[in-house]
Structure 1
Amino acid sequence: MKMSPMFLWGAGLVALWGVIALAAPMLATHDPYAIDFEALLQAPSAQHFFGTDNVGRDTFSRVIYGARLALYIGILGVIAPMLIGMAIGLTAGYFGGWVDSIAMRVVDVAVPFPFFVLVLSIVAVLGPGIENYFIALALVGWVGYARLARAEAIVLRSSEFVMAARTMGFSHPYILFRHVLPNALSPVVVYMMTDVTLVILFGAALGFLGMGVAPPAAEWGVMISEGQIYISTAWWISFFPGLAMVLIGVGFALMGDGLAKMLRIER
């Protein structure tokens, strides 16, 4: 398989953020939660690389620690939707019939509604917090994975190796896990890369709205929200966490696009 430069750039950017997240205690120049009323709203300088916020906290250190939360939310947030969607999609596509009809009716009900509106509504009912955000993602985020997995399973169920496995008397669960699942993973992994970006952005949006991670957590959405009223006088409070969010999103997006290109070349 020929490596895509786009994938390598994206993987490098994501790996860089991973290192930053792991090494946050060593990279941070200040305690991200330490309040210093003598350093309120200071502009970027040698002492505070990204300036300080409205209570004197070091923005650079908070952005560094925010990478931990961003990756935690992005990666953990896609696991449950992916597992649920893969299970439903593969089962529906492989067996077809009434199983497929029921699964697709549920999907058809969820598809017309904007994803973020559904997540926001569920979080509003359950209450703010990262755990409730994960629950909301698990309830509505599986739809895209299910559609992709179903499409792959429909093609694979009539393939020669699946038909041969049936002829040899292997059970349906064995065929699904041994033959269908591995061959259906490629488009799902590509979709997951894009989904990680969306989960991070939506998590930050909830933090901005006060429905996600609660202050004073070093979370990028919370930081942008706290800095919005100072945008004309202390732009750095919102700018740097916003820039970090863009960079990590670009990294996952490049990985997804590059991986899709590589798989098309392979096929």
Structure 2
Amino acid sequence: MIMKLSSVVGVVSLVLCYFLTSLVQAGFNNTSSDGASNEGHLYIQIDSPSNGYEFTPGQDITITCNATKTLPEKGKQMYEMKMWFCDINSDNECPNADGYCPNTSKDCSQSGNRYDMSFAASHTIRKAREQDSGIYSCAVYSHEPIIANRTVNKQIIISIKQRVPLNFNKKYTKKRTISTKQGNMVDLICICNGYPSPFVTWYRNEKLLSNETNKWVSFRNISKSDEGRYHCMCENRLESITSEKTTIEVKDHSDVFVLEAACIIAGFIFGMICSFLCVSCTYKK
């Protein structure tokens, strides 16, 4: 009796397994027989400006976005893509709504064919003001019925501030000469402020130090080959300024020994002269 029951259970299991396998092969999953997805995908990216780019009032700021879609099969009918922009005055639903280029003083234009695999549009803020700073979005929708997420969006932060002229912290960039022993540690510092945010480049004997773009240059084990005149240049897209020069002189060990010996001898001679003068004064008295 037990053996008959086991045989029945085994047959039922085989039939059920065959039935489920048939369902999967008939297309109840989302993957084709070669492992490729049966769904298309929609992407969007902001081509310009780069995130964190800083603007000043009065500029025309253009946000350019590019949308692309991928389909699992070639030769399918191309459906329309639609792109729109959300600015700081838009409501929270804007990025996910079936929107359009906003009909405001902020221009919106398109390039490319909406029925292609890629499509681009631009949103221009005319004569930007500080109050135009904030988060902007570009969004795209595709009528493609086989695309999984048919609405996607991308955000960018636009910063608009009044220009601040570049200036150095004179404590670190004044003209000076540094004399040091070979093997010592020396740091050169270039502190520069302003808006848009500046970047720093370093020069040695008027030649660019291509690998030095930080606000400091560090010598951990300085040698004679590091001697020279150094200065930094501070610049942004609006202006540039140049620091005073710092001269580095490196004394090797023999130079230091000779210098110390000369100081000792000079001190000894000076001491002898002082002693002689004191003796002479005492004798005269």
Task: Report the TM-score, using the length of structure 1 for normalisation.
Answer: 0.24
Question: Is the radius of gyration larger for structure 1 or structure 2?
Answer: 2
Structure with the larger helix share? 1
Greater percentage in strand: 2
Which of the pair has the greater relative contact order for Cα pairs under 8 Å at 6+ separation? 1
